[in-house]
Amino acid sequence: MSMTWCRFEAAGKTAYGIVEGETVVPVQGSPFGDYEKSAERLALSAVKLLVPVVPNTFFCAGLNYAQHVTEVAHKVGLPPSLPTRAEVGYRANNALIAHGENIVKPADATELFQYEGELVAVFGKKARHVTPEQALDCVLGWTIGNDVSERSWQKSDRTFFRSKNSDTFKPMGPWFVTGLDYRQMRTIIRLNGRQVDSFETAKMIFNPETFISETSRYCTISPGDVMWFGTEGVQENMKPGDVVEIEITGIGVLRNQVVAEA
């Protein structure tokens, strides 16, 4: 059975809710523990969606699709090097924004300001020393991430602090969905309504099972943590006014507009 979990704000209060068609059923508690449905029904259009979960640890697989690795290497002027092991990286919570919120392009960012459409696992169980066969049991659901990147900083900087972790650079949502098979998904990216990429979500260099298992050899993955799985393809630049949509079939559409820093 599939359930769609959101986190939302309405009438000044924040809660988790279950999306049913065009309505949201608020719950007491959370999808990561006990919860109880309320009798209330809110119109989905009347609530403000929030980032569906604020992770304790924000895992992110940086390079996980072959064509993307080759193209990014080319763009930053380095020889392409396909990863030989599933080594996870990190992103920072300060950068998270929800579906519908604005991606703010920093005043000093160059035109090499790009989206990356990614599948995201939301964990529901603790994972430590899990095998690839056990890994998906720890995933409660799936959501969508946009790993916004400033390529000139990605090339010039020693760390990803501003190229990938500036405020608003990590849209995630609109919600997460349980009971899905990621092997059946397609990722479709649209810029101002025009399709700029479409790929089989599962055609990764290392699949989620491998990433989760390898990470869990050393690190505890906790309920509420997320892991992003990289993007495919060649990205175009985004400029203020642009609207970027990441659709993953079965999950939904993550939509954000780009604005210039004031």
Residues near a copy of itself (CB under 8 A):
54, 56-57, 59, 62-63, 83, 85, 87-90, 92-95, 106, 128, 157-159, 161-162, 165-167, 215, 217-222, 225
**Contact at 8 Å (CB) between 60 and 147?**
yes
Q: CA-CA distance, 193 to 92, in Å (whole number)?
A: 29
Q: Which two structure tokens, joined as six digits, stand for 234?
A: 């060649």
Least gap, CB of 115 to a copy of itself (angstroms): 18
Least gap, CB of 258 to a copy of itself (angstroms): 16
- Rounded to 5 degrees, what are φ and ψ at 113? -115, 110
Least gap, CB of 261 to a copy of itself (angstroms): 10
Least gap, CB of 171 to a copy of itself (angstroms): 16
Choice between 16 and 169, CB closer to a copy of itself: 169
Decide: helix, strand or coil at residue 18.
strand
Per DSSP, the residues of 168-226 read T-EEEEEEEESS--GGG-EEEEEETTEEEEEEETT--SS-HHHHHHHHHTTS-B-TT-E
Least gap, CB of 36 to a copy of itself (angstroms): 24
Choice between 158 and 194, CB closer to a copy of itself: 158
Q: CA-CA distance, 138 to 125, in Å (whole number)?
A: 5
Q: CA-CA distance, 204 to 189, in Å (whole number)?
A: 17
Choice between 127 and 248, CB closer to a copy of itself: 127
Distances (CA, A) of 82 to 67, 86, 205, 233, 262: 10, 11, 8, 14, 39
Dihedral sign, Cα of residue 163, residue 164, residue 165, residue 166: positive
Decide: helix, strand or coil at residue 228.
strand
Choice between 63 and 191, CB closer to a copy of itself: 63
Least gap, CB of 12 to a copy of itself (angstroms): 18
Choice between 132 and 250, CB closer to a copy of itself: 132
Dihedral sign, Cα of residue 103, residue 104, residue 106, residue 110: positive
Choice between 86 and 189, CB closer to a copy of itself: 86
Least gap, CB of 193 to a copy of itself (angstroms): 29
Q: Spell out the residues 6+ positions from residue 65 whose beta carbon is closer than 8 angstroms to its own.
A: 199, 203, 204, 205, 230, 231, 232, 233
